[in-house]
Every structure is written in structure tokens, then in C-alpha cells.
């Protein structure tokens, strides 16, 4: 049974303690986990937080790996460094942007905390993928290497542990962990018990702050010294933007209300996450200096969100909650035709939320034809009953079939 805590109550409680946790100290410095720095208003550089038991401090804003896929990536990297965003993520879309930047600026690599992923738990494959990442990025070490993406921590068996220890000894990596984008609360809770794990990257955003199990799992990770990166901080919906626009509190109205508080919706979402002291860094997609600077401004302003802004966020989350998949996985086995409801919900979110329709269509095309053909007429009543967000799953499956079939 999932425990729920009231969203407004959480944000109110977190506001007092969260944003003040860490200070802008140098990379590699150690800070005690309970070290609380008083509220200092606006900082000169992006504040830093300690990455779990490693004792290393990193910027609380991390440059998402897809941010540097464009031609202006050197300008984005220059600005990130200047403003203290020295935690950079590598994903498959990153290409050789960091490698080329390090070649041109040889002193920079030592100033950056690099995170990367492997897409397997087979030691041979992990080794090949790690070696490629090292080569592509012109570096001999990855600071944090994570297995992407786990919904069951049992995959982290003894072979994985031994391999992680081996590459740590060889100094090819410094720290090890995993990413979770589904069934996150359980993965976090169980991951916290693995004493050979240093960090976890998890799906998390302002909407998740009302889920008691998730908050407790993050707290457990913090207590066990596990550093936490968050991804998908915008909490986008699987609903069409034109439909969301018809709601009484839609994004346009929300933005105009937030403008009166000198903050954008995106900045407010980031600040809500930072108010949770158990989070180390938000990994954010920042393709271009305008978005980067906007996020940096939010990070530098360490004042807690006002009561009015917190209420607006909570009202929007409530009003759009049935269009948001919280990735609990409860619908996975709730359909007799084995329709991959979770994957389709995610594909819809990528297509409608991020405009990444080609990627969504690729995901959809991977569904075996004999299952795909059953999508429009399958019975989703059990899945809808189990869904904690009360998502109109049947409606979304039919719409996905029409929009993503190609």
C-alpha cells in the first residue's frame, strides 16, 4: 500500500530545511551530511552538495547529456564552467562534445565531475561500453558510472559488484551505481542496502513529492550515504498540450501568475526539488545558454519558494495529475493482451511533452505486431483501477495507436 502525504504539507515542511543544505565549496572538498548552511539568499555560483558517502561535492545542477548535442555546445560548456556547473552527464546523444572540449581545454577535465552509463549488467558488455565512453570523451576516468535503467535491483548481482570493484581499482571509474525510471521507490529502498553502491539516478520531480514511499526511500538513501541525481525534473504529462490548455489552471495562466512572483514555471519546479535535502543534483536538459542561465539563476537563488508559489505548483499538479504517469509499474501485468502500457505511456510523454515523436514512434514500432494490433480494442479496466494517478489508460492507448503507428 502506497503511503500518501499531503503535497502542500510536504512542500511547506521542506521549504524550511531544504535549500539551505549545502554551500559553494570547491570540488573534492568534504562536507558532513548534516552540515547545514543558513539561508544566504542569492549565491555567486551554483551551490554545491555532497555526493553521499563519497564526500565529494558537486554542483546541485548537472548538465544533462543531451544538452551538448547541438552546434553551440562549446558556448554552453564555457558558460556552465563559468557559473560553477561542473557536473556533466554523458548519454548516447552526447557524442564527442566533451572529448573535443577537453582536447581544446586540457585543464578542464580535472575540474569536472563526469557521469556516464552502461546499458547492460554483463561484465563483458559493461567493459566494452566503459572503454568506449572513456575513449569518446578523451578521459581516463569516469567519476560516476551507472547501470541504465533498472526496475529491479536484483540485476545488480555479485558479478556486477566484482566488475565495479575491478574498474574502481584500475581507476577507470571512481564511483558506481544505477539509474531507475520505473518502480523507483523500491529500487531506491533496496539500492540503499547495497553497501557497494555510491549513487543512484532516479526519475523525480515536484509531482512525486506527495508520494510518501518515494520520499521515505530518498531519505533512506541519504541516511545510507547514497548520492542522488534526479532526471525528468519537469514532470511532463502524456496528455496533448491542446487539451491541457483547456484546463482552468493551464500553463499559460500559471506562467502569468508566476511572473508576478518573478519566477518561471520551470524554475519553480527545479527549486521544489532542491528543497528536498536528500537530493544531490538535478540532471537537467539545457540545450542552449538561455535555458542554462535560467536554471542557473534558479539554483543561485537559495531562498525557499514562497507559500503562494508552492500553492500554485500544488494546484497545477492536482489539476493535471491524471495525465501524469508516475512510473509505478502497477499497470504492467494488468492487461490480458500483454499490452506494454508503461512503455506506451512513456512514448506518449516523449511525443506530446517533449515533441520527440520520431523517438516515440520507434518505441511503438518495437511492440510485436500481434500485440500492437490488439491495442485499440483491449480491455484496460483492471489497469485503470490499479493506477494510482487514475490515468485514462484506455483512452491514451487508443490515441497512441493512432498517433504513433506511422
> Footprint of ligand SF4 on this chain (CB under 6 A)?
325-331, 341-342, 345, 386-389, 391, 393
Grid cell of 220 as nine digits: 533512506
Q: Minimum distance between the CB of residue 232 and ligand SF4, rounded to whole angstroms?
A: 13
* Burial category of 223 from C-beta neighbours within 10 Å (exposed 0-12, middle 13-18, buried 19 and up): exposed
DSSP secondary structure of 89-151: E--GGGTTHHHHHHHH-TTSGGG-EEEEEES-S-HHHHHHHHHHHHHHTT-S-EEEEEES--S
Written as one string, the DSSP assignment of 296-351 is HHHHHB-SPPPHHHHHHHHHHHHHHGGG------TTTT--TT---HHHHHHHHIII
* Minimum CB distance to ligand SF4 smaller for 81 or for 386: 386
Least distance CB 393 / ligand SF4 (angstroms): 6
Is the CB of 115 or the CB of 205 nearer to ligand SF4?
205
174 or 326: whose CB is closer to ligand SF4? Answer: 326
Distance CA 124, CA 128 (A): 6
Task: Give 28 or 388: the residue with its C-beta nearer to ligand SF4.
Answer: 388
Taking the least distance from each CB to ligand SF4, the nearer of 251 and 343 is 343
State the nearest-atom distance from the C-beta of 7 to ligand SF4, in Å. 16
Instruction: Measure the N-to-C terminal CA separation of the chain; round to a whole number of Å.
Output: 39
Instruction: Provide the CA 342 distance to its chain's centre, in angstroms.
Output: 17
Residue 46 vs 387, nearer CB to ligand SF4: 387
Q: Report angle CA 108, 114, 119 to the nearest 5 degrees.
A: 145
Q: State the nearest-atom distance from the C-beta of 310 to ligand SF4, in Å.
A: 23
Name the minimum Å distance from CB 212 to ligand SF4: 16
Minimum Å gap between C-beta 75 and ligand SF4 is 38
Q: Which residue from 133, 132, 90, 88 is spatially nearest to 113, judged by alpha carbons?
A: 88
Tell me the closest approach of the beta carbon of residue 2 to ligand SF4, in angstroms: 10
Q: Which is nearer to ligand SF4, 299 or 331 (CB)?
A: 331
Q: What would the grid cell of residue 318 be?
A: 492536482
Amino acid at each position: 500500500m502506497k503511503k500518501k502525504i499531503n503535497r502542500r504539507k510536504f512542500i511547506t515542511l521542506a521549504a524550511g530545511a531544504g535549500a539551505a543544505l549545502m554551500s559553494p565549496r570547491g570540488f573534492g572538498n568534504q562536507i558532513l551530511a548534516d552540515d547545514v548552511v543558513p539561508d544566504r539568499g542569492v549565491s555567486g555560483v551554483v551551490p554545491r552538495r555532497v555526493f553521499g558517502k563519497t564526500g565529494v561535492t558537486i554542483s546541485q545542477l548537472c548538465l544533462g547529456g543531451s544538452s551538448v548535442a547541438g552546434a553551440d555546445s562549446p558556448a554552453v560548456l564555457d558558460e556552465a564552467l563559468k557559473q560553477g556547473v561542473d557536473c556533466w552527464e554523458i548519454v548516447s546523444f552526447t557524442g564527442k562534445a566533451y572529448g573535443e572540449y577537453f582536447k581544446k581545454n586540457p585543464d578542464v577535465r580535472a575540474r569536472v565531475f563526469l557521469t556516464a552509463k552502461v546499458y547492460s549488467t554483463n561484465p563483458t558488455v559493461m567493459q566494452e561500453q566503459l572503454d568506449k565512453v572513456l575513449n569518446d570523451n578523451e578521459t581516463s576516468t569516469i567519476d560516476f558510472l551507472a547501470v541504465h535503467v533498472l526496475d529491479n535491483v536484483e540485476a545488480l548481482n555479485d558479478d556486477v559488484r566484482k566488475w565495479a570493484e575491478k574498474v574502481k581499482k584500475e581507476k577507470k571509474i571512481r564511483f558506481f551505481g544505477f539509474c531507475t525510471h520505473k518502480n523507483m521507490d523500491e529500487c531506491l529502498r533496496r539500492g540503499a542496502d547495497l553497501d557497494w553502491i555510491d549513487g543512484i539516478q532516479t526519475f523525480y520531480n515536484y509531482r512525486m513529492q506527495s508520494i510518501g514511499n518515494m520520499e521515505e526511500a530518498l531519505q533512506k538513501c541519504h541516511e545510507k550515504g547514497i548520492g542522488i541525481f534526479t532526471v525528468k525534473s519537469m514532470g511532463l504529462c502524456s496528455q496533448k498540450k491542446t487539451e491541457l490548455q483547456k484546463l482552468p489552471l493551464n500553463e499559460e495562466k500559471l506562467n502569468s501568475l508566476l511572473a508576478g512572483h518573478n519566477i518561471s514555471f520551470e524554475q519553480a519546479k527545479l527549486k521544489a526539488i532542491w528543497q528536498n535535502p536528500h537530493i544531490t543534483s538535478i540532471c537537467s536538459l539545457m540545450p542552449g545558454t538561455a535555458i542554462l542561465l535560467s536554471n542557473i539563476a534558479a539554483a543561485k537563488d537559495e531562498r525557499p519558494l514562497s507559500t503562494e508559489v508552492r500553492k500554485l505548483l500544488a494546484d497545477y499538479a492536482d489539476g493535471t495529475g491524471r495525465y501524469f504517469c508516475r512510473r509505478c509499474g502497477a499497470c504492467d501485468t494488468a492487461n490480458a493482451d500483454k499490452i506494454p502500457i508503461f512503455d506506451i505511456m512513456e512514448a506518449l510523454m516523449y511525443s506530446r511533452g517533449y515533441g520527440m515523436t520520431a523517438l516515440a514512434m520507434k518505441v511503438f514500432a518495437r511492440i510485436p505486431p500481434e500485440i500492437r494490433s490488439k491495442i485499440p480494442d483491449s480491455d484496460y479496466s483492471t489497469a485503470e483501477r490499479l493506477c494510482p494517478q487514475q490515468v485514462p489508460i484506455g483512452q491514451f492507448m487508443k490515441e497512441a495507436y493512432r498517433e504513433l503507428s506511422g
